[in-house]
């Protein structure tokens, strides 16, 4: 029997403004739930339809379950959400290798439901469905023996291999989702920093030109202020879109950063177009409020960055 360790109690931490707090709490709860299932399995063995499990798992299963507990401990101590979820999924793989026939059937049903409800998408969905199509049909009696897993006559041993591969694909899909959220959060922070800098530059330029007499709309500083306002509008638009739907805005490919920087230039060009339209008489901002209206129109033109669409290969 494997000796059980008492649960560790983490010292309390002062509450801080942590944007990842909700995701860390979900990871913590997932680790605790998985740990509880593993510890019960180590004590009483796998569940059986007729009641409690056996007195305990076999030596091989006990070794895998102990390794799963070690992975869960590392996931709990990890400072990275991405690494924490990867370790949790690795622990689940070890537990899956100890499944009974009934647990294999139940896991297959759950995977099929996740596919039907659209929780898994892309090529992984097709790959998982193909793997599940080659497991033993419900109610069928698999032949004896333990052949090399393949696409021939299925057995319970091959079913476990196919299920494990399907679960790894599903967990990989979830890992990619967490990585996408992390990249999205990083990009929002950098866009916010750039936006604050541009806002300060634009305010300084506008304040300096307002205090000067004459036709201020023809000075180089005003043109610079117009460009800054357009880039600031592009940054604001990009932050809003990233916050609403990070999945469609973050592309985990080389070139996605180029697409991000390109949005600034698109915003600047759109603002310059507004300025030239004003100078050409197409747009008119009469009166003493001409400069503020021009800056405001340039800021709105920066939202043209939404025309930038980066098409990368599907992750």
Complete DSSP assignment for 21-58: HHHHHHHHHHHHHHHHHHHHHHHH-S-BTTBS--SS--
Contact between residue 275 and residue 298 where contact means Cβ atoms under 8 Å apart: yes
Give the three-state DSSP class for 131: helix
State pTM to two decimals: 0.44
pLDDT at 254: 35
Residue 181 in tokens? 């959220």
pLDDT at 56: 55
φ/ψ of residue 286, rounded to 5: -80, 165
Give the integer Cα–Cα distance in Å for 150 and 163: 13
Give the three-state DSSP class for 220: helix
Distances in Å between the Cα of 224 and the Cα atoms of 107, 195, 300 are: 61, 15, 16
Give the three-state DSSP class for 132: helix
pLDDT at 96: 79
pLDDT at 252: 36
Report residues of the chain scoring pLDDT below 50: 1-7, 9-17, 49-53, 146-154, 247-255, 311-315
pLDDT at 24: 76
Give the integer Cα–Cα distance in Å for 47 and 53: 5
Residues contacting 99, CB < 8 A, separation 6+: 46, 107, 160, 163
pLDDT at 159: 76
pLDDT at 22: 64
Give the integer Cα–Cα distance in Å for 60 and 102: 19
């Amino acid at each position: 029997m494997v000796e059980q360790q008492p649960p560790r109690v983490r010292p309390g931490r002062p509450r801080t403004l942590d944007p990842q707090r909700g995701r860390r709490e979900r990871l913590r709860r997932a680790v605790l739930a998985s740990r509880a299932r593993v510890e019960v399995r180590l004590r009483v063995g796998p569940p059986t339809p007729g009641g409690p499990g056996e007195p305990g798992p076999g030596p091989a299963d006990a070794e895998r379950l102990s390794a799963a507990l070690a992975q869960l401990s590392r996931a709990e101590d990890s400072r990275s959400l991405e690494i924490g979820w990867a370790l949790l999924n690795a622990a689940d793989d070890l537990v899956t290798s100890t499944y009974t026939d009934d647990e294999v059937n139940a896991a297959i049903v759950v995977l099929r439901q996740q596919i039907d409800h659209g929780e898994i998408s892309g090529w992984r969905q097709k790959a998982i469905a193909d793997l599940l199509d080659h497991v033993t049909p419900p109610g069928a009696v698999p032949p004896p023996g333990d052949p090399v897993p393949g696409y021939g006559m299925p057995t319970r041993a091959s079913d476990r291999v196919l299920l494990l591969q399907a679960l790894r694909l599903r967990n990989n899909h979830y890992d990619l989702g967490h990585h996408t959220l992390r990249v999205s959060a990083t990009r929002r922070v950098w866009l916010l920093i750039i936006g604050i800098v541009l806002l300060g530059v634009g305010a300084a330029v506008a304040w300096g030109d307002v205090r000067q007499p004459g036709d201020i709309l023809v000075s180089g500083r005003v043109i610079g202020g117009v460009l800054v306002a357009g880039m600031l509008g592009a940054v604001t638009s990009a932050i809003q879109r990233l916050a609403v739907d990070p999945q469609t805005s973050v592309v985990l490919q080389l070139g996605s950063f180029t697409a991000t920087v390109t949005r600034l230039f698109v915003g600047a060009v759109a603002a310059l177009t507004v300025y030239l339209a004003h100078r050409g008489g197409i747009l008119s901002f009469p009166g003493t409020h001409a400069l503020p209206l021009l800056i405001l129109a340039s800021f709105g033109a920066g939202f043209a960055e939404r025309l930038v669409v980066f098409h990368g290969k599907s992750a």
